[in-house]
Structure 1
Amino acid sequence: MSGKNWDRVPIDAQSVDAPLSSSAVFLVVTVGGDQAALSKAASVLGELDDLVKNVGFRDLSGRLSCIAGIGRDLWDRLGLDRRPQELKPFAPIKGSVHTAPSTAGDLLFHIRAERADMCFEFERMLLDNLGASVTVVDEVEGFRYFDARDLLGFVDGTANPTGLDLPAAALVGDEDGDFAGGSYVVVQKYLHDMNAWKETPTHLQEEIIGRTKIDNIEIDDDDAPRKSHKSLATITDADGNEFDILRDNMPFGRPGKQEFGTYFIGYSRYLWVIEKMLQRMYIGDPPGAYDRLLDFSTPHTGTTFFAPARPTLQKLVEAAQEKLAVDR
């Protein structure tokens, strides 16, 4: 959905609008509670662009990028006076059958490139720079699977906004001017029961997803007794206006460990849009008619962040460093 006056938002966002990549690393860390750890984390955040350049220059066609998101708790611990209007910790959702857990995370680093070695090298250098100031709580290496399919065999991200619709859906506008150009980010790591999914007939899989499996055609299920994943994840307001989010989900897995999953990452102009989407999935619409995909895919993490625009991030880093220096 296009928001009014979005054209006044600075375009110098972090690389939220970067093309979908063939490789990615999703890194979530917590930051130590002492002043030294907080200062170190703030310093590294301020140097991210330089690190991207240093690694990315080795192969410009690799299109290396990194988006940094800050969690609510760390935001407050850095002593920042203002925060994005909707930023808050991920709230667990308990449905009648399935639960979306809330897990720890102060910083998210969404690292993307066309080469897995560039993601690896950037992450290695990033963690070297952060040192003992952080603890890694989740690290997932994602890959693009054939024609942008998930490991369940369906094309993922078809409904992503494009062109001018992308920033209007994913970046904060003048409704929160201090943080215009930033984005709310929600991440969840899902593990799939592939054996149970394989035993499910294709036509039932398509009813659950809301699209055909081979040619990715949307299925009209308005009159169906149970809404599909596609329909439950479609958010509209009281006037019928549809609100999109930007998904950069990626498959991951270790066949030797029988681990197969999808890393969900959603960027949104409004946090409430993703919250409502998840409520519809876990609680159901009507209540009890939850997303049947959850019978096969189980979330193991759930964390919310805010990824400020580049100029805003630099100002936040400077303010945090000044605050921490005074408090020493």
Structure 2
Amino acid sequence: MSETPLAQSGILEAIPAHGRYLSCQLCLGADPRPVLQLLAEQTDGLTSVVGLGESLVKALDGQVAGLKTFRGIEGALVKLPATPIDLLVWLRGTARGELLARSQHLEALLAPAFEITNITDAFNHAGGRDLTGYEDGTENPKDGEALKTALVPENAGPLAGSSFLALQHWHHQLSRFEAMPRLQQDHTFGRDLDSNEELDDAPESAHVKRTAQESFAPEAFVLRRSMPWVEGNRGGLVFTAFGHSFDAFEALLGRMCGVEDGITDALFSFSEPETGAYFWCPPMHNGQLDLRSLGFSAA
């Protein structure tokens, strides 16, 4: 098998029918290495995508260039909660029952060193739309551009093929959104709900204008793999953005939060992030998660 590091393929695949996000915290005094070795051996990168927070990397006495802890955006005019997580496992599948069985297996595997502190069930809604009905991720890069956007390049040594993940759990006040006139809803996103076409007359606060990735210098492209979530009568979006660094995400979020010009994204009129965390998603090697850059042995 090739020695070239490969990405966790779930990063590049379209969002699945169902997803489950497991947030895991390292138990006080526990040694994470034996558990992470088992997790690496059972991670295929497609049906499960794994990310390590900076706190966990430090607990392993390791260092990943470019990895840091999310601490919000300086000068933001809205609240941006920072909720560091040691370990994230994004389960991807076709049925909720399947994901339940797999998460129970993982809970038992991780139990000697990690506690699962939060589980978020998510799903593919109406062919890739947000709960508001608007299409999500329209401007995602594709094919070679997706690889260039989401993955650390081949010349990066042992980090090649890895990715940096920004994750936010957004809560939508859907009743507030549904009370808006249709034109205001379209202007919130900057797109027509039915055609998904951008609106030339949308205000500067429209989401598409706040996040026009090609309008930044340098261009701020991320690969979005966000999924809607529902719990009882609450719902929203698990914003999931992959990049070869966090720079593009921070540029986008800064403009959304009014740092550049004092104009905040219209999304904040009905939705807000409840969490915010950064992760490093290791590459794959010989069919399993590649943790050699953290001192683990090769597969």
Match of 1:230 among 184, 201, 208: 208
SS at match of 1:275: helix
| Aligned-residue CA RMSD (Å) | 2.5
Unaligned runs of 5+ in 2: none
Whole-Å separation in 2 of the counterparts to 1:245 and 1:175: 20
SS at match of 1:42: helix
- Once the 2 structures are TM-superposed, how far is the Cα of residue 123 of structure 1 from its aligned partner? 1.2
Aligned-residue sequence identity (percent) comes to 26
Whole-Å separation in 1 of the counterparts to 2:26 and 2:297: 15
Could you give the per-residue CA deviations for residues 231-290 of structure 1, whole angstroms, max 9, x where no partner exists?
22233477x553321111111113xx421111101011121111111111113441x201
Q: 1:78 maps to what in 2? A: 60
Q: 1:6 maps to what in 2? A: none
Is 1:107 aligned with 2:87? yes
SS at match of 1:47: helix
- Once the 2 structures are TM-superposed, how far is the Cα of residue 94 of structure 1 from its aligned partner? 6.2
Instruction: Select between 121-130 and 212-221 the one with higher mean Cα deviation.
Output: 212-221
SS at match of 1:100: coil
Q: 1:21 maps to what in 2? A: 16
Unaligned runs of 5+ in 1: 1-8, 54-63, 323-328
Match of 1:248 among 208, 222, 225: 225
Alignment of 1:69-148 (within 5 A): 69-80=51-62, 82-83=63-64, 85-93=65-73, 97-148=77-128
Q: Aligned pair in 2 of structure 1 residues 74, 277: CA closer, same or farther (>3 Å)?
A: same
Aligned residues: 293
Q: Aligned pair in 2 of structure 1 residues 177, 234: CA closer, same or farther (>3 Å)?
A: farther
Instruction: Select between 306-315 and 167-176 the one with higher mean Cα deviation.
Output: 306-315
SS at match of 2:237: strand
Alignment of 1:23-42 (within 5 A): 23-36=18-31, 38-42=32-36
The question of whether the paired residues in 1 share the 8 Å contact of 2:107 and 2:116 is answered with no
Could you give the per-residue CA deviations for residues 14-50 of structure 1, whole angstroms, max 9, x where no partner exists?
12112321100111111123243x134322332223x
- Once the 2 structures are TM-superposed, how far is the Cα of residue 214 of structure 1 from its aligned partner? 1.3
- Once the 2 structures are TM-superposed, how far is the Cα of residue 314 of structure 1 from its aligned partner? 2.8
Whole-Å separation in 1 of the counterparts to 2:158 and 2:290: 13
Match of 1:268 among 229, 243, 252: 243
The question of whether the paired residues in 2 share the 8 Å contact of 1:232 and 1:285 is answered with no
Whole-Å separation in 1 of the counterparts to 2:268 and 2:197: 22
The question of whether the paired residues in 2 share the 8 Å contact of 1:22 and 1:114 is answered with yes
The question of whether the paired residues in 1 share the 8 Å contact of 2:21 and 2:121 is answered with yes
Is 1:319 aligned with 2:295? yes
Moved over 4 A (4+): 94-97
Indicate the structure with greater helix content. 1
Could you give the per-residue CA deviations for residues 297-317 of structure 1, whole angstroms, max 9, x where no partner exists?
111110000101113943438
TM, length-normalised to structure 2: 0.89
Is 1:43 aligned with 2:25? no
TM, length-normalised to structure 1: 0.81
Is 1:67 aligned with 2:62? no
Whole-Å separation in 1 of the counterparts to 2:7 and 2:81: 29
Whole-Å separation in 2 of the counterparts to 1:274 and 1:185: 9
Q: Aligned pair in 2 of structure 1 residues 236, 45: CA closer, same or farther (>3 Å)?
A: same
Amino acid at match of 1:170: A
Could you give the per-residue CA deviations for residues 118-174 of structure 1, whole angstroms, max 9, x where no partner exists?
222221111111114212232110011112111111111111122111111110114
- Once the 2 structures are TM-superposed, how far is the Cα of residue 200 of structure 1 from its aligned partner? 0.8
